[in-house]
Amino acid sequence: MTAAVEHDQVYAIAEEVFSAMIDGEPGYLRPWDGELPVAAEPLVAWVDVHGELAGRAAVTTDLETAHELTRALLGMGADEPVGPEDLNDAFGEVANVVGGNVKALLPTQGSLSLPVVATVLPEVPGTSLTHELRLDWRGRSIVVVVWLFQ
């Protein structure tokens, strides 16, 4: 997916996902400035693209930010508790929409896996990182990554 997908296109996808689905308006997502903090409780959601060009799109953040994303997506109150099912489903859907739109940029058609949410992203042998977007969402760090499977 290296040549087929440009860094700016992935950023534009992330921006659109956050402005349309999460914030309701643009302006809350920007490039992260400086070193990324180490997440005490990391959480990652990803989808795989299968086909002639195969790869993976993942969204990584910390658990607290994933809770905030879930509240924003579901229109929940600031102090409303987030259950594990809602957390997995909402955070997975963010990765699903990002991955689906990355897939659409590819020159060949492929299929998209269902989203997976875990604390660690499993390694795939022969994978090369093609894009890493370090993002700042309301002061919280979120990383969007796209890999190419070789």
Partner 1 sequence: MRALVIDDSRTMRRIVSAALEELGFTTLQAGDGQQALDLLESGEEVDLACIDWNMPVMDGLTFVTRVRANSAWRDITLMMVTTESEHGQIVRALAAGAHEYLIKPFTPDAIRDKLDLLGLIPAEEHV
Q: Are 127 and 109 in contact (CB under 8 A)?
A: no
CB of 4 to partner 1, least distance (A): 13
Minimum distance from residue 47 beta carbon to partner 1 (Å): 9
Taking the mean position of all CA atoms in its chain, how far away is CA 19?
A: 14
Residue placing its CB nearer to partner 1 in the complex, 20 or 129: 20
Q: Which is nearer to partner 1, 81 or 125 (CB)?
A: 81
Q: Please say which residue, 87 or 145, places its beta carbon nearer to partner 1.
A: 87
Say if strands 116-118 and 42-51 run parallel, antiparallel, or are unpaired. Answer: antiparallel
Question: What is the rounded CA–CA span in Å between residue 5 and residue 8?
Answer: 9
How far apart, in whole angstroms, are the C-alpha atoms of residue 147 and residue 17? 19
Provide the 3-class DSSP secondary structure of residue 31. strand
Min dist. Cβ of residue 74 to partner 1 (A): 6
- Identify which of residues 55 and 99 has a Cβ nearer to partner 1 in the complex: 99
Position 90, amino acid: A
Query: Which positions touch partner 1 (CB under 8 A)?
Result: 16-17, 20-21, 24, 70, 73-75, 85-86, 89-90, 92-93, 96-97, 99-101, 103-104, 109, 111-112, 114
Q: Which one, 108 or 119, has the nearer CB to partner 1?
A: 108
In the complex, what is the shortest distance from the CB of residue 41 to partner 1, in angstroms, rounded to a whole number?
21
Closest distance between partner 1 and the C-beta of residue 103, in Å? 8
Chain-centroid distance, C-alpha 30 = 14
Q: Which of 80, 83, 95, 73 is nearest to 147 (CA)?
A: 95
